[in-house]
Structure 1
Amino acid sequence: MRKPLLSLVAVLGLAACATEPMLGPPPPPPSGSASISIPANIAAALSDPSRPAADMVRDQARHPGEVLAFAGVKPGAKVADLIPGGGYFTRIFSKAVGPKGKVYAYVPDELTKLANREPTVNAIARDPAYSNVTVILNKLPNFSTPEKLDLVFTAQNYHDMHDKFMGPADLSVVNRQIFKALKPGGVYLVIDHSAEPGSGLRNTEDLHRIDSAVVKSEVTAAGFIFEGESKVLRAPADPRKANVYDPSIRGKTDQFVYKFRKPASAR
């Protein structure tokens, strides 16, 4: 039996978390961060004229070129964009992997029913400019795709899967399903808003943040190897105590970018 829906305020907050841009001036570049070379396929995807102007404005804060370069997105890759929201990254993936690649915009059924509307990303999949995009609607934790993937990507949404509106989803199952969906050597990239160290899951609902140590522990427990972190979205000035939509910190949150890899020997 389905649980009662959240209050209207909570629903609107959820919709914003999944689909709305993080506003405000971008955080300063992390101190000591190395310059990252952006491959030609990713650079071309960022400058593609099919992208909405509003998405391009967001690039300065979200650093999609550096993020996709860190993930290793190549032409012909098969990618799942888990909880794609409005499709900001979906569009970039589509052009970066090219016509021989494939992008699965994976929308949990729980989120669609809660919002009571079709996923925003459906419009992208219907656009001939993004013909390699397919939307998958499926109830978590039953993550699955029609073919093995090179990359599973989720941005600012891992904490949501721990929230009550998602069940919460059993992340031990979700992460194992993602492990199965990836090719040997495939990558699982997780971006999220940082909570205070040691806070665990305490702030997933009230602040929309998660302790990065929890993510690392849960994902590696599914068999992944932690390969490293990009610090391109780090913001040391963020005290990690405010809701990510608070005007004092919105658009300037500290975010971790964690890269996990399925061992090449795994099947």
Structure 2
Amino acid sequence: MTINRRLALALAAGALLAGSALSAGATDVTPLRAAIDGPQRGAANVARDGARHPYETLEFWGLKPGQTVIEVTPGGGYWTEILAPYAKATGGTYVAGVTDLANPKVSEGGRKARADFEAKYADKAVYGQIRYANFGAVSGPLGAPNSADLVITARNIHNYMVNPGMLDKVMADFHAVLKPGGVLAIEEHRANPGQQKPDVGDGYVEVATVVAAAEKAGFKLAGQSEINANPKDTKDHPFGVWTLPPTKRTAPGGQPANPAFDRSKYDAIGESDRMTLRFVKPA
């Protein structure tokens, strides 16, 4: 049986069971389980579930059937593999905010990365009709005003802070596209209070920084979770957060890997300590 066929059967069964649960007054979670457990997910991503807690995280953020979900800067697609099939199964829409092709300054590497991403998730039988939005430091709106139910950005805030003014710009973009009552979901490497570096060069950001930026854009903090906390993370690694899994850097960025670097300490830590936040656009 093909992956497409197995996934379709799993999601259909999930939707059927969820419908029965809804008629009994229960919460619809079965299609999400089906998407997380589906054969469309890559082995490397599945191996990270113990650190990223996809079910608990999406439940905390309030993912529901039929929603329009925008994921901004989806990277390699850890969440795409879950959210796109889930949207397809529940009558929702998954939108990926990716490299801004309208920006003439975007590198060829950036354009290729977007093309590769679109090709990877082109199978409509598995992922449905994924929509794409240009996203970047000078991009236009992510969609029509007040059109999205949920905007997700995971492990990206530190990147937005490198370009002066970009964090304020993207927060305003998130606020504009969300419906009143819509949710902004953020996961980010967490710096200890008072220890955020001025250039965020190690990848760690303080919770207060994220909250201040979101509130400046008009959001209200609606919840914080320790789902993705890691108390073993000492946050003092030689190559920043990228010393840890999954990147496992052994030399400064742009330099060849150092085969003599002892990784044992960092592999034992695991993935970073992360904040998991939920903001709401007031009605």
TM over 0.5: yes
**What secondary structure is seen at the aligned counterpart in 2 of 1:245?**
helix
**What is residue 150 of structure 1 aligned with on the other side?**
149
| Distance (Å, rounded) in 1 between the aligned partners of 2:164 and 2:28 | 37
- Answer with 252-261 or 54-63: which moved more: 54-63
Could you give the per-residue CA deviations for residues 42-63 of structure 1, whole angstroms, max 9, x where no partner exists? 1111011222222211211111
Code of the aligned partner of 1:140: A
Could you give the per-residue CA deviations for residues 117-172 of structure 1, whole angstroms, max 9, x where no partner exists? 23242124412211231232333253523341011101111110111xxx345222
**What is residue 32 of structure 1 aligned with on the other side?**
none
Once the two structures are TM-superposed, the CA of residue 203 in structure 1 deviates from its matched residue by 5.1
Once the two structures are TM-superposed, the CA of residue 263 in structure 1 deviates from its matched residue by 0.8
Code of the aligned partner of 1:106: G
- Answer with 238-247 or 152-161: which moved more: 238-247
| Distance (Å, rounded) in 2 between the aligned partners of 1:114 and 1:190 | 29
Greater Rg over alpha carbons, structure: 2
**What is residue 67 of structure 1 aligned with on the other side?**
57
Identical positions, percent = 31
Once the two structures are TM-superposed, the CA of residue 239 in structure 1 deviates from its matched residue by 2.1
Equivalent residue runs for 1:85-234 within 5 Å: 85-99=75-89, 100-109=91-100, 113=107, 115-116=109-110, 117-119=112-114, 120-128=116-124, 129-142=126-139, 144-147=141-144, 148-163=147-162, 167-200=163-196, 202=198, 204-205=200-201, 207-234=202-229
CA contact (8 A) 2:189 2:204 kept: yes
Q: 1:143 to 1:48 in 2, by over 3 A?
A: farther
**What is residue 244 of structure 1 aligned with on the other side?**
241
Could you give the per-residue CA deviations for residues 168-224 of structure 1, whole angstroms, max 9, x where no partner exists? 45222221121010011000011111123123452522x111112100111011110
| Distance (Å, rounded) in 1 between the aligned partners of 2:153 and 2:128 | 21
TM-score, length basis structure 2: 0.72
- Answer with 169-178 or 185-194: which moved more: 169-178
- Answer with 38-47 or 114-123: which moved more: 114-123
| Distance (Å, rounded) in 1 between the aligned partners of 2:41 and 2:194 | 39
TM-score, length basis structure 1: 0.76
CA contact (8 A) 1:94 1:103 kept: yes
- Answer with 84-93 or 235-244: which moved more: 235-244
Q: 1:188 to 1:123 in 2, by over 3 A?
A: same
**What is residue 18 of structure 1 aligned with on the other side?**
none
**What is residue 55 of structure 1 aligned with on the other side?**
45
**What is residue 272 of structure 2 aligned with on the other side?**
253
Q: 1:162 to 1:216 in 2, by over 3 A?
A: same
Code of the aligned partner of 1:135: Y
Answer 1 or 2: which has greater helix percent: 2
CA contact (8 A) 2:61 2:183 kept: yes
| Distance (Å, rounded) in 2 between the aligned partners of 1:145 and 1:108 | 12
**What secondary structure is seen at the aligned counterpart in 1 of 2:150?**
strand
Alignment RMSD: 2.3
Code of the aligned partner of 1:259: R
Once the two structures are TM-superposed, the CA of residue 115 in structure 1 deviates from its matched residue by 3.4
With a CA cutoff of 8 Å and minimum separation of 6, indicate the structure with the bigger relative contact order.
1
**What secondary structure is seen at the aligned counterpart in 2 of 1:174?**
helix
Code of the aligned partner of 2:273: D
Where does structure 1 lack aligned partners over 5 or more consecutive residues? Answer: 1-36
**What secondary structure is seen at the aligned counterpart in 2 of 1:144?**
coil
Aligned length: 224
CA contact (8 A) 1:112 1:118 kept: no
